[in-house]
Amino acid sequence: MTVRVAVAGASGYAGGELLRLLTSHPGVGIGAVTAHSSAGRPLGETQPQLAALADRTLERTSAEVLGGHDVVFLALPHGESAPLARALADDALVVDCGADFRLRDAADWVRFYGTEHAGTWPYGLPELPGARDELRGARRIAVPGCYPTAVTLALFPAYTARLAEPDAVVTAASGTSGAGRAVKPHLLGSEVMGSMTPYGVGGGHRHTPELTQNLSRAAGERVTVSFTPTLAPMPRGILATCSARLRPGVAEDGALDEVRAAFEAAYAGEPFIRLLPPGHWPSTGSVIGSNTVQVQVAVDPAARRLICVSAIDNLVKGTAGGAVQCMNVALDLPEHLGLPVNGVAP
Ligand SMILES: NC(=O)C1=CN([C@@H]2O[C@H](COP(=O)(O)OP(=O)(O)OC[C@H]3O[C@@H](n4cnc5c(N)ncnc54)[C@H](OP(=O)(O)O)[C@@H]3O)[C@@H](O)[C@H]2O)C=CC1
Ligand SMILES: CC(=O)N[C@@H](CCC(=O)OP(=O)(O)O)C(=O)O
């Protein structure tokens, strides 16, 4: 059986990556590809890397054009998914790469996004405990933000195993594609090349409530997260460095063994998580183009802190790959279909 899929936002970075992955998915046929200002143009003009789809024409994004598909991927700016999703058939699987349906707390939504909360859909991070049960058979899925994917997967086993205090500190570097392809002065080559800059410092980034939501769910208590994103001079990739104090009951002797055992247990059999051997550290250059997440853990005994580092490709596991993985789970297809585990390097 071939699943017929449509991609809205096909002229953008996330939409382009969805189409790259979906063309290699053996169970999928690609239907409508839609855009906004680029509607009417050949896909090959905005996504020249997608040779197999170069002659497709981008249609205008509407419920009519997206209707009649088994699966609709939405890769649109925040706020655009909610009205469109309401007009799509209940029995179509809608996978939203935007933020509209990620947060459970309406007050958090209003505070960080400034509009009315549209609701909450099942959260598309299959590796979280219990998530696959919620995603199997779902017809609406909210894919996480790219930073929340990297940070949650770096840290959550330390919280489920009750090894870390509920007060995490995170610094994460992202490539510029995380900001989308719309023209913005701070993303000009001359601003970004050879320079790194923090932004959203002091709890202001809109991924902070999403991180709190995910880690609190794992911990079973409220986890606060001090999150500092930085923009790095690279097109893709996120390197997240996360730390938290060890709980008082964790003995310094053997703490690292305990932490590693918790991560090994959490990630045993996970097709896309690679807990690296001791002494090896995650790097964005090793995961580009793949749905793989590299993870490593350490313990700093003098500071009594746990340090967890992850690397992802923001456009693959951080968006499009995560979205395809969720489709596979929802439709009961083998979870790895269409998803590379090998990166492109150098
Ligand atoms: N980039 C990333 O790493 C990640 C992105 N996401 C999320 O995925 C979504 C897409 O992001 P990204 O691809 O980076 O963004 P882009 O800016 O690259 O692409 C946006 C897409 O949406 C279309 N669009 C713009 N305005 C409208 C509108 N008013 N109505 C309908 N369509 C519109 C654009 O069409 P056109 O170009 O024709 O105007 C384009 O196809 C966002 O919600 C983003 O937050 C999530 C995780 C990571
Ligand atoms: C480098 C950069 O600007 N990154 C984006 C994060 C993109 C992302 O994960 O996506 P959502 O917009 O879907 O939440 C930012 O900080 O806003």
**pLDDT tens string for the chain (346 positions)?**
899 999 999 999 999 999 999 999 999 999 999 999 999 999 999 999 999 999 999 999 999 999 999 999 999 999 999 999 999 999 999 999 999 999 999 999 999 999 999 999 999 999 999 999 999 999 999 999 999 999 999 999 999 999 999 999 999 999 999 999 999 999 999 999 999 999 999 999 999 999 999 999 999 999 999 999 999 999 999 999 999 999 999 988 899 999 999 999 999 999 999 999 999 999 999 999 999 999 999 999 999 999 999 999 999 999 999 999 999 999 999 999 999 999 999 9
- What the block records as the tokens of 174 is 């992202």
Q: Whose CA is nearest to atom 37 of ligand 1?
A: 11
Q: Is the CB of 14 under 6 A from ligand 2?
A: no
Half-sphere exposure of 118 (CA within 13 A, CB side): 19
Domain boundaries, the chain: 3-144+317-330, 147-314
Residue with tokens 């909610």, as numbered in its chain? 82
Distance from Cα 35 to the centre of ligand 1, integer Å = 9
Question: Residue 60's closest CA among 95, 12, 10?
Answer: 10
Q: Is the CB of 99 under 6 A from ligand 2?
A: yes
Residues 125, 149, 102, 30: what is their CA dihedral angle, to the nearest 10 degrees?
-70
Instruction: Give yes or no for a contact between 299 and 258, defined as CB atoms under 8 angstroms apart.
Output: no
Q: Is the CB of 322 under 6 A from ligand 2?
A: no
| Cα 28 from Cα 203, distance rounded (Å) | 40
Ligand closest in space to the Cα of 206: 2
- 3-state SS class at 298: strand
Tell me what pLDDT residue 251 has: 86
Tell me what pLDDT residue 6 has: 98
Distance from Cα 145 to the centre of ligand 2, integer Å = 7
Distance from Cα 99 to the centre of ligand 2, integer Å = 10
- Which of 60, 62, 84, 97 gets mutated to test ligand 1 (max ligand atoms within 8 A of its CB)? 97
Which residues sit opposite 123 in a β-bridge?
Answer: 142
Tell me what pLDDT residue 253 has: 85
Tell me what pLDDT residue 1 has: 80
Q: How many residues does the chain have?
A: 346
Residue with tokens 């991070």, as numbered in its chain? 125
| Cα 147 from Cα 237, distance rounded (Å) | 10
- 3-state SS class at 332: coil
The class that CATH gives domain 147-314 is alpha beta
Tell me what pLDDT residue 244 has: 98
- What the block records as the tokens of 264 is 């090994």
Rounded to two decimals, what is the model's pTM?
A: 0.98
Atom number of ligand 2 nearest to Cα 102:
14
| Cα 60 from Cα 339, distance rounded (Å) | 28
Q: Which CATH architecture has domain 3-144+317-330?
A: 3-Layer(aba) Sandwich (3.40)
Q: Is the CB of 231 under 6 A from ligand 2?
A: yes
List the alpha helices (DSSP H) in 129-188.
131-135, 146-160
Instruction: Give yes or no for a contact between 100 and 143, defined as CB atoms under 8 angstroms apart.
Output: no
Q: Is the CB of 5 under 6 A from ligand 1?
A: no
- 3-state SS class at 192: helix
- 3-state SS class at 56: coil
Which residues sit opposite 198 in a β-bridge?
Answer: 230
Instruction: Tell me the CA distances in angstroms from 219 to 103, 214, 269, 285, 300, one per residue in order.
Output: 17, 9, 22, 31, 21
List the alpha helices (DSSP H) in 6-165.
13-23, 43-46, 63-66, 81-86, 106-113, 131-135, 146-160
Q: Is the CB of 237 under 6 A from ligand 2?
A: no
Tell me what pLDDT residue 329 has: 98
Instruction: Give yes or no for a contact between 124 and 95, defined as CB atoms under 8 angstroms apart.
Output: yes
Question: Residue 209's closest CA among 312, 310, 102, 343?
Answer: 102
Tell me what pLDDT residue 134 has: 98
Q: Is the CB of 146 under 6 A from ligand 1?
A: yes
Question: Residue 321's closest CA among 332, 312, 308, 334?
Answer: 312
Atom number of ligand 2 nearest to Cα 176:
1
Distance from Cα 300 to the centre of ligand 2, integer Å = 30
Distance from Cα 32 to the centre of ligand 2, integer Å = 26
Catalytic: 308?
Answer: no
Instruction: Give yes or no for a contact between 84 and 74, defined as CB atoms under 8 angstroms apart.
Output: yes
Residues 178, 181, 25, 63: what is their CA dihedral angle, to the nearest 10 degrees?
110
Exposure string for 12-44, b = 16+ CB within 10 A, e = fewer: bbbbbbbbbbbeebebbebbbbbbeebbeeebb
Residue with tokens 């790095």, as numbered in its chain? 232
Instruction: Give yes or no for a contact between 71 and 5, defined as CB atoms under 8 angstroms apart.
Output: yes
Distance from Cα 9 to the centre of ligand 1, integer Å = 6
